[in-house]
Structure 1
Amino acid sequence: MEKKFIKKLFVIAFALIFTLGIILTGCGNKNNEQASIPASQKEQTKKELAQGVTDTTVKIGTTLALTGPVAVIGTPMLHGMQAYFNYINDQGGVNGRKIELIYKDDQFNPAVTVQKTQELVEQDKVFALVGTLGTPGLLASMDYIVQKGIPNVYQGSGSSKFAIPFKKNYFPVQPNYTTEGHVLAQYAVDNLNAKNIVVIYQNDEQGTEGLNAIKEQLEKLGKSDLLKAAVPFNTTDVDFSTPVLKAKEANGDVVILLGTAKPLAGIAVKAKEIGYKPQFLASYVVSDLTMFKLAKDAWNGAIVAGWAYPIYEKTKDEPKVKLFYDTMAKYFPNETPSGYHVAGWIAAQTFVEGLKRAGDNLTWDGFIKAMETFRDWNDGLAYKLTYTETDHSPQRAMYFMKAIYKNENEYTYEIITDYIEPK
């Protein structure tokens, strides 16, 4: 985002938490069979190379939590994708093909994610899975996807395992937790002048990867002594007295929060209850306005990371932001667009851009090669995506926002920095 905008805008930023990815399937091995096919049949065979593809359609799928507590993320993410695909289909589709999206509820259960992924690939014969959600399920299905060789674009997760080690068929988009941990530590030292850092982290992939990255960056900066305590919690916890009291006992003036919305809101509320007022510095996973509804004034003043192009009143006239709002209003008029909608929108945008570049003869190999032509792609709501033949690392740049809570009806995030990359 241009520097002249980033410092003055207010934003609904995006939880991304969390977690979003896409799986593309086809039959790339048929390319080697083409030489033995009679010339009269070659044109027809070209159009049969990838499953889920016809002359007029390309069928894709996704798995998200559409029931249970994580449905508050999965449902708007799905609607964000549907809105963008509807917009594209209204224009005739991509290269003459309209996009058909099949979605399945995985309940945020890894075993169900694996089952539904296999169904989509082997029974529904989709060409791609787009915008799948949830670190546990995406990691559980990763070996299967790698073995199949299907392109996988935008995982709804910040796990670095989708990019490291390199996987030819994976195209992460949102920053991974390692990048974020580096940026959070750097910001705490350079911008907040932290004296005593405490990390309160979710005891899972997100929290542990982020904590390790914070330690790495502090060591790199020669500031390892600033980390006074690292306190875990579980997603099932309802009482956050222990982590908050431990942070207070360590005299933490900057408390870095790594986790999802509900527990982090509980931590902020508990801190307010006992009169503990550190500077909270939180993961982009909780950058959606949901935090204000959960924590209310306890979230006021928190600083939160962001990564997607900001959307709010003052950016609505920018073409790519206006398109988002107008399209959401057309297809989902009763919903207030959120960061979760944006996540789905970005997943769909990234996939569609790959389709456009792949051309008419749609195969897995062709799609992967097309994705590898991205160089600082900035036309959508993601920021400067680049993929090469040897590196599919996601976005590295992030910015920071400050939570402003006035009352139950007035709250927002205000951007306070430009995009920052770890040193």
Structure 2
Amino acid sequence: MRGGLRVLLLVVFALWLASCQDAEVQIPLAPAGLGVTDTEVTFGSSLALQGHAGYLGQETLRGAMSYLQYVNEQGGVHGRAIRVITRDDSYDPPKCLDNTQRFLIEDQVFGLFCYVGTPTTVKILPLVEEAQVPLLGMFTGANALREPFMPYLINVRASYYQETNAAVEHLVKDLKLTRIAVFYQYDAFGFDGLTGTELALKRFGLEPVARGSYVRGTHDISEGLERIRESGAEAVVMIGTSDPCANFIRKSLENDYSPIFYMVSFVGAKELSRNLLQSDTDRLDVVMSQVVPPPVSSDGTVAESAQEFVRLLEKYFPGEEPNFVGFEGYINAKVLVEGLRRAGRNLSRKSFLEAITAMTNFSLGGDVGLTFGPQDHQGMDKVYFTRLQEGRFILLDDWAQLRREEGQ
């Protein structure tokens, strides 16, 4: 009997072990105080710090850390310093997933912060839901982070749907254009922008006259450009990263093709300007939407909402130029700190999320403010437009400036 029982137990154990080998990594549900000590609260940030989207991660992180370092020097929030563990994912979804698993299992962070990119962030959503961990301040406007509603996600910026909808409205209503094409990155980011553009055009009884795409991480835009150029599109909505978009514009110039080039904010104004520095873009209309106002105007005036950002950036990262991406990172950090402050000393993930969703009219100065709600986890909705002029993007107030002369 004893020998038979021993054999039976060994068989059961072997079956259990085999089932574990095929199982997915299980993230334990977090106790309320995970990632919090008497002196510190810890967040994890996976973002591109190298590769073709590395500039976005670097600028986002600089903007955020300029404010967080300042707060820590003042004693932190309720006596706790804010620690951010960063890991490079090179804008690669599997790397982002691995980084996030390490944050949750090894580092046992309180929350996730300042992720960059649609395909990377979308990849980790099941982990966020399973671990019930706050994810705040993503540098992406993807609709997948907004619908269906997810209680642990806090979006600060406007969505790509809002960006493309506003752009299409200007192109069609103000400029009377009807032939609009879409050039997009062939992944979740590009599909999101494509869908947003199609929905916006549909409101006017239109659809894209052509669609062209490229593979993420490459610069080969030739097939997409040819398809769009042959369509005779008067404007091209571009959903991609800086290098391929700049290459598309340069090749268009070489082929005497000069539609209005419009890009969403993820492209990055500073990096695109740098990529096009040697190109004759003054005779082109290159427009980019932004989800934050210009921190510094063309005449050097610092926006009221950006004065602290500009001052702290110079203090902690001297020589770095204020830009849209960094300003967004700074605003993300402001929301994070305000959420910690309002949650009180007895901090938990639940109290942190409740504190943020109770924010209304949280002012950054000027006309920039954020409002959340229990079922509204996006703080900002406004979209701004900028135009490339003399090597930098400046605020575009009047779309009539883009009207094409006959024959151009």
Give the TM-score normalised by the residue count of structure 1: 0.81
Choose between structure 1 and 2 for higher RCO, CA contacts under 8 A separated by at least 6 residues: 1
Deviates more, 1:333-342 or 1:168-177: 333-342
Distance, in Å, in 2 between the alignment partners of 1:356 and 1:178 is 32
Counterpart in the other structure of 2:384: 399
Label 1:217 to 1:65 Cα distance change in 2 as closer, same or farther (>3 A): closer
Counterpart in the other structure of 1:111: 94
Distance, in Å, in 2 between the alignment partners of 1:361 and 1:325 is 33
User: Is the Cα contact below 8 Å between 2:136 and 2:153 reproduced in 1?
Assistant: yes
Counterpart in the other structure of 1:37: none
Counterpart in the other structure of 2:362: 377
1:309 aligns with 2:293: yes
Label 1:317 to 1:342 Cα distance change in 2 as closer, same or farther (>3 A): closer
Q: What secondary structure, in the 3-state scheme, does the structure 2 residue paired with 1:312 have? A: coil
Counterpart in the other structure of 1:243: 224
Label 1:70 to 1:286 Cα distance change in 2 as closer, same or farther (>3 A): closer
1:82-110 deviations in whole A, cap 9, x for unaligned? 21111111222112222122112223222
Unpaired runs of 5+ residues, structure 1, are 1-24, 29-48, 419-423
Label 1:319 to 1:26 Cα distance change in 2 as closer, same or farther (>3 A): farther
Q: What secondary structure, in the 3-state scheme, does the structure 2 residue paired with 1:175 have? A: coil
User: Is the Cα contact below 8 Å between 2:238 and 2:245 reproduced in 1?
Assistant: yes
Structure 1 residue 316: Cα displacement: 4.5
Count of aligned positions: 368
Structure 1 residue 249: Cα displacement: 1.8
Match of 1:230 among 182, 202, 211: 211
User: Is the Cα contact below 8 Å between 1:63 and 1:104 reproduced in 2?
Assistant: yes
User: Is the Cα contact below 8 Å between 1:206 and 1:258 reproduced in 2?
Assistant: yes
Structure 1 residue 366: Cα displacement: 0.6
* Structure showing greater Rg: 2
User: Is the Cα contact below 8 Å between 1:210 and 1:258 reproduced in 2?
Assistant: yes
1:146-295 equivalences in 2 (<5 Å): 146-221=129-204, 223-224=205-206, 227-295=208-276
Letter in structure 2 aligned against 1:366: S
Letter in structure 2 aligned against 1:323: E
Distance, in Å, in 1 between the alignment partners of 2:151 and 2:259 is 43
Counterpart in the other structure of 1:19: none
Structure 1 residue 241: Cα displacement: 3.1
Structure 1 residue 394: Cα displacement: 5.1
Structure 1 residue 179: Cα displacement: 2.2
Match of 2:112 among 123, 129, 133: 129
Distance, in Å, in 2 between the alignment partners of 1:280 and 1:80 is 28
Q: What secondary structure, in the 3-state scheme, does the structure 1 residue paired with 2:249 have? A: helix
Q: What secondary structure, in the 3-state scheme, does the structure 2 residue paired with 1:69 have? A: coil
Structure 1 residue 398: Cα displacement: 0.5
Deviates more, 1:113-122 or 1:381-390: 381-390
Q: What secondary structure, in the 3-state scheme, does the structure 1 residue paired with 2:76 have? A: coil
Structure 1 residue 277: Cα displacement: 1.1
Unpaired runs of 5+ residues, structure 2, are 1-27, 400-408
Give the TM-score normalised by the residue count of structure 2: 0.83
User: Is the Cα contact below 8 Å between 2:295 and 2:323 reproduced in 1?
Assistant: no
1:43-122 equivalences in 2 (<5 Å): 49-122=32-105
- Residue identity (%): 27
Distance, in Å, in 2 between the alignment partners of 1:391 and 1:79 is 28
Structure 1 residue 118: Cα displacement: 1.7
Distance, in Å, in 2 between the alignment partners of 1:84 and 1:416 is 30
Distance, in Å, in 2 between the alignment partners of 1:146 and 1:73 is 26
Match of 1:346 among 319, 331, 334: 331
Q: What secondary structure, in the 3-state scheme, does the structure 1 residue paired with 2:370 have? A: coil
1:246-290 deviations in whole A, cap 9, x for unaligned? 222211111211211111100100110011111112212224221
1:276-334 deviations in whole A, cap 9, x for unaligned? 11111221222422112112345443121111132115574545422111111111114
Label 1:315 to 1:174 Cα distance change in 2 as closer, same or farther (>3 A): farther
1:105-155 deviations in whole A, cap 9, x for unaligned? 223222221221121122212212211222222111110111111111111
Distance, in Å, in 1 between the alignment partners of 2:244 and 2:377 is 32
Counterpart in the other structure of 1:358: 343
Letter in structure 2 aligned against 1:104: R
Distance, in Å, in 2 between the alignment partners of 1:264 and 1:388 is 36
Q: What secondary structure, in the 3-state scheme, does the structure 2 residue paired with 1:289 have? A: helix
